[in-house]
C-alpha cells in the first residue's frame, strides 16, 4: 500500500508543473519557439503574383518583388515593388517592424512622385485594394500579441497547435486571431481574423510550404473576406534566403529612386 501511495505521489510531483502551466504561458512559449525557428535567414528576395478577386469572380493580377532583411535591434525591414500592370508599376512599400511599438510603413506613389507615410491609425486599411491589410504584411512579432494555446490538434493530417492571439495595439483592426500552426513548419497553415466587434472577418489559408535553408517558407496565401465575399491570393514564383542587403537600401528616402 505504501509503495502504491509513493508511486502516486511521485507521479503527481512529476506532472504537476505541466498541469499547472497556463494556456497563456504555453501559448507564449510556442510563439517564442516558432519565432526562433524562423530567425537566421539573413535576407530574402521574393517574386510573386497577387490576384484580386471581387464578389462576382472578376480578377485583377499584379506582379511584385520583395526584399527583406533581418535586423539585430528590432524586427525585419522589407521593400515591396510593383512591376505590373502599368497603373501600379513603380509603387513601393517600405516596412520597418518593431517588437513592441507600431510598425513604420511608407508608400511611394509614382503618379504623385512622393513618399506617403502610412499612419498607424490606417494599418487596418486594405493594401493596394487587396484583402490583405497593411498590418497583415508586417512581421508578426511575438510582443505585439497576447498568446493563448487552445489545443494540440491536426490540420490536413498534420500535427498542429491551435492558438489564439490578441493584438496589444488598440489601433489594430482585429479583436483577435485564431491560428492553426504546423508543428514542423513553425508557421501558420490557417488564420481566422475577427473584427473589432468580435465577428469573423477573414480567413487566410497558407499552402505549399518549402524548406529554404533552415527555414520553412509558404508559397501561396489565400485571403478570403467573409463579409465582402472578396478574396486575394499571393503566389510566390521565387523565394531565396541568405541574401545580404545594405541598410541604406531600406531607407524611406531611397523609395524615390
Count: domains in the chain: 1
SS3 173: coil
**Residue 147 counted as domain residue:** yes
**Residue 9 counted as domain residue:** no
Report the alpha-carbon distance of residue 223 to residue 230 in Å, rounded. 9
Report the alpha-carbon distance of residue 77 to residue 177 in Å, rounded. 23
Q: What is the pLDDT of residue 100?
A: 86
**Residue 2 counted as domain residue:** no
CATH code for the domain in which residue 216 is found: 2.50.20.10
E strands in the chain = 43-53, 59-69, 77-84, 92-96, 104-109, 114-117, 145-155, 158-167, 176-182, 187-194, 200-207, 210-212, 215-217, 220-225, 231-241
**Residue 225 counted as domain residue:** yes
Grid coordinates representing 213 are: 535553408
Q: What is the pLDDT of residue 153?
A: 98
Q: Indicate the pLDDT class of residue 10, thresholds 50, 70 and 90.
A: very low
Domain containing residue 103? 22-256
pLDDT, tens only, 218-253? 999 999 999 999 999 999 999 999 999 999 999 999
Total-model pTM: 0.90
**Residue 10 counted as domain residue:** no
* pLDDT of residue 80 exceeding 70: yes
- Percent of the residues in the chain that have a pLDDT greater than 70, as a whole number: 92
**Residue 3 counted as domain residue:** no
Q: What is the pLDDT of residue 120?
A: 74
Neighbours of 232 (CB within 10 A): 24
**Residue 4 counted as domain residue:** no
**Residue 1 counted as domain residue:** no
Amino acid at each position: 500500500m505504501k509503495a502504491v501511495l509513493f508511486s502516486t505521489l511521485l507521479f503527481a510531483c512529476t506532472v504537476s508543473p505541466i498541469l499547472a502551466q497556463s494556456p497563456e504561458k504555453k501559448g507564449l512559449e510556442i510563439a517564442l519557439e516558432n519565432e526562433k525557428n524562423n530567425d537566421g535567414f539573413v535576407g530574402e528576395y521574393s517574386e510573386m503574383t497577387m490576384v484580386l478577386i471581387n464578389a462576382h469572380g472578376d480578377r485583377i493580377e499584379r506582379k511584385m518583388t520583395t526584399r527583406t532583411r533581418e535586423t539585430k535591434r528590432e524586427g525585419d525591414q522589407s521593400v515591396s515593388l510593383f512591376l505590373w500592370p502599368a497603373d501600379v508599376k513603380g509603387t513601393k512599400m517600405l516596412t520597418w517592424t518593431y517588437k513592441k511599438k507600431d510598425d513604420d510603413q511608407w508608400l511611394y506613389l509614382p503618379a504623385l512622385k512622393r513618399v506617403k507615410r502610412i499612419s498607424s491609425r490606417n494599418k487596418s486599411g486594405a493594401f493596394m485594394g487587396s484583402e490583405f491589410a497593411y498590418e497583415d504584411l508586417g512581421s508578426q512579432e511575438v510582443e505585439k500579441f497576447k498568446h493563448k494555446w487552445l489545443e494540440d490538434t491536426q490540420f490536413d493530417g498534420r500535427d498542429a497547435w491551435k492558438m489564439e492571439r490578441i493584438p496589444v495595439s488598440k489601433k489594430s483592426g482585429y479583436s483577435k486571431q485564431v491560428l492553426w500552426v504546423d508543428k514542423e513548419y513553425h508557421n501558420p497553415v490557417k488564420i481566422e481574423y475577427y473584427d473589432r466587434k468580435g465577428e469573423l472577418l477573414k480567413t487566410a489559408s497558407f499552402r505549399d510550404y518549402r524548406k529554404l535553408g533552415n527555414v520553412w517558407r509558404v508559397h501561396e496565401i489565400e485571403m478570403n473576406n467573409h463579409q465582402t465575399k472578396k478574396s486575394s491570393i499571393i503566389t510566390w514564383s521565387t523565394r531565396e534566403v541568405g541574401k545580404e542587403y545594405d541598410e541604406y537600401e531600406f531607407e524611406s528616402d531611397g523609395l524615390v529612386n
